[in-house]
Structure 1
Amino acid sequence: MSWFESFVLGLVQGLTEFLPISSSAHLRLTAAFADWQDPGAAFTAITQIGTETAVLIYFRKDITRIVSAWFRSLRHRRIRGDHDATMGWLVIVGSIPIGVLGLALKDAIEGPFRDLRLIATTLVVMGVVLGIADRLAARDERDEKDEKGGRHRAVRQRKDLTLLNTRDGLIFGICQAMALVPGVSRSGATISGGLLIGYTREAAARYSFLLAVPAVLASGLFELKDATDGHTSWPQTIFATLVAFAVGYAVIAWFIRFVSRKSFMPFVVYRILLGLLLFALVGAGVLTPHAGELAG
């Protein structure tokens, strides 16, 4: 891997990790379109450590408060009902599905799941799911405004994170686990799931970020042992991780502001168009389903 490739891939990772468009798919597609070798699942997992470090710093106050309350709740029963302590337990619960499935499907993640036809399918299907979830959230927001304006309608009150419970935390976790397939998108799946079970856009996005921290850091550390096989370009991988961290931090700040005011429809349209383009390129023979994949 050249330094230019590592810069571009780090930039792509940082730009796409937190947007609902799938960073793993974009890393895979960048390599395929540029006729580079697929950076592989290990490279993806390690560079994600950079973007998750950006999450740790951006949400450092929230994370410190949650971790502190969780540890104190282990010693003091009276603290266990505290919201921050509960959030600590719910992040653990929500991390179980991706941990179990990540280990069980490791070979598929590094092989068949990187087929461009599968990526095209997940881009389109999850784009439609995100679009439906976004429309439901927008409808509830309009109904609430109508009620406040004096036109009373049946309103589904959107939930914030103070109402998060074990069942919902597990649903978020199952949605996150779907992102083991490139093209699904960790943030896209968890935010869609959150919107479909009644949470606000901002609540779904915030919990998505918090839930990703243990999963991504664990995945990156787990992949380190495979990255020591002599095939990993460590200087370039570290450089890409630093680029992903810097860009990812800026994207978090922008995305949190965006979700509180805007619709996800631009991402929906982008996902569907990219998926259809990928289908067309593979169907026309411009790209093979395994273009740029690492040699076995």
Structure 2
Amino acid sequence: MSIVEAFIFGVVQGIAEFLPISSTAHIVIAQLLFGYSFPGLSFEVILHIGSIVAVVLYFRRDIIQLIQAFFRYITQKRREDRPEFFFAIYIVIATIITGLLGIMLEDVLAETIKTPAFIAASLTVTGFFLILIERYHKIGDRTEKEMNVFDAVIVGLAQTLAVLPGISRSGSTLIAALYAGLNRPTAVRFSFLLSIPVILGSSVLAFDDLRTGSLASIGTMPLIIALVASFITSWIGIVWLINFLNKGRLIYFALYCFLLAILVVTLVDPAATIQTE
């Protein structure tokens, strides 16, 4: 892998990870365009590490506050810590649902989902639901204090679909949270904090692949470049999305998904697919 390719893969991962446009689809499309298949899952782990470090550092105060409130409520039963305690519980519930069902879904579909036609269709579905939630569903006003188990289950189930390339993880969780009646700030916070255990979990599942030495074929410098590019662009993506959602509209992401789906169908060889080496 060249340094330029590593940089592009890092940028693609970082920008697309937290925007509702599916980072998996973008990574697969980039591989198809370059005619390059990652040697196993090791390189994807490196890309995800950059994103996870970015989101942990950005939300470090939220994470510390959440952990402190969680254990304070257990030991002291402080009433003011109750919302944060259950917020953490809801993250755990959604993560478990995503983890169990996501593994089952991925095992069933395997590599058949990494084709241009499937990706284009999934991007179209993502765009459709972004428009649906933006135009035809009234955004709720419920905050963390009004959240319940049903919200966590709905978001967890929606996030499970993100195992499909083209179905955005951040998009699916945002859509589900807004559909459940949460307000935008709560939906965004829940989506971002939920991404931490999910991305960590998917990376841990791929750690065994690191033992194969597949990273050696990529090279040290490309790995460093990809990691740094993923971290920096993930940070930018987080900041930009939060600011955009406060004053922007999801429909723009929907239009992008539709455009990308058209480009995939017209420019990428329909017989192309990604095979793990």
Q: What's the TM-score, normalizing by structure 2?
A: 0.90
Aligned mates of 1:253, 1:182 — CA distance in 2: 24
* The 10-residue stretch of structure 1 (104-113 or 55-64) with the greater mean CA deviation from structure 2: 104-113
Structure-2 residue corresponding to 1:159 = 142
Amino acid at match of 2:156: G
SS class of match (1:184): coil
Alignment size in residue pairs: 274
1:177-216 map, 5 Å: 177-216=160-199
Structure-2 residue corresponding to 1:117 = 117
- State which structure, 1 or 2, has the greater radius of gyration over its C-alpha atoms: 1
SS class of match (1:158): coil
Aligned mates of 2:276, 2:57 — CA distance in 1: 37
Distance change in 2, residues 1:124/1:205 (3 Å)? same
Amino acid at match of 2:253: F
Structure-2 residue corresponding to 1:56 = 56
Amino acid at match of 2:47: T
Residue 94 (str. 1) matches residue 94 (str. 2): yes
Structure-2 residue corresponding to 1:74 = 74
Structure-2 residue corresponding to 1:221 = 204
**Contact (CA 8 Å) 2:117, 2:270: kept in 1 or not?**
no
Distance change in 2, residues 1:45/1:178 (3 Å)? farther
Structure 1 residues without counterparts, runs of 5 or longer = 142-156
**Contact (CA 8 Å) 1:31, 1:39: kept in 2 or not?**
no
Amino acid at match of 1:2: S
Q: Deviation at 1:234?
A: 6.1
* The 10-residue stretch of structure 1 (116-125 or 192-201) with the greater mean CA deviation from structure 2: 192-201
1:257-276 map, 5 Å: 257-276=243-262
Amino acid at match of 2:32: A
Aligned mates of 2:237, 2:20 — CA distance in 1: 12
Residue 294 (str. 1) matches residue 275 (str. 2): yes
Aligned mates of 2:231, 2:65 — CA distance in 1: 23
**Contact (CA 8 Å) 1:46, 1:223: kept in 2 or not?**
no
Aligned mates of 1:58, 1:109 — CA distance in 2: 34
SS class of match (1:290): coil
Aligned mates of 2:239, 2:125 — CA distance in 1: 28
Percent identity, please: 32
Structure-1 residue corresponding to 2:229 = 243
Aligned mates of 1:25, 1:120 — CA distance in 2: 9
Q: What's the TM-score, normalizing by structure 1?
A: 0.84
Amino acid at match of 1:29: I
Q: Deviation at 1:59?
A: 0.9
Q: Deviation at 1:274?
A: 1.2
Q: Deviation at 1:8?
A: 0.6
SS class of match (2:247): coil
Aligned mates of 2:219, 2:68 — CA distance in 1: 34
Q: Deviation at 1:42?
A: 4.6
**Contact (CA 8 Å) 1:41, 1:110: kept in 2 or not?**
no
Deviation digits for residues 74-93 of structure 1, max 9, x if unmatched? 33445696111111111101
Aligned mates of 2:263, 2:127 — CA distance in 1: 14
Amino acid at match of 1:241: L
Q: Deviation at 1:5?
A: 1.2
**Contact (CA 8 Å) 2:50, 2:227: kept in 1 or not?**
yes
Q: Deviation at 1:41?
A: 4.9
Deviation digits for residues 60-110 of structure 1, max 9, x if unmatched? 111101012223333344569611111111110110112102332444565
* The 10-residue stretch of structure 1 (118-127 or 73-82) with the greater mean CA deviation from structure 2: 73-82
Deviation digits for residues 242-267 of structure 1, max 9, x if unmatched? 21111111221111111011111111
Amino acid at match of 1:168: D
Deviation digits for residues 248-291 of structure 1, max 9, x if unmatched? 1122111111101111111101101211232234xxxx513434
**Contact (CA 8 Å) 1:176, 1:186: kept in 2 or not?**
yes
* The 10-residue stretch of structure 1 (26-35 or 44-53) with the greater mean CA deviation from structure 2: 44-53
Q: Deviation at 1:27?
A: 0.7
CA RMSD of aligned residues (A): 2.2
Aligned mates of 1:176, 1:30 — CA distance in 2: 23
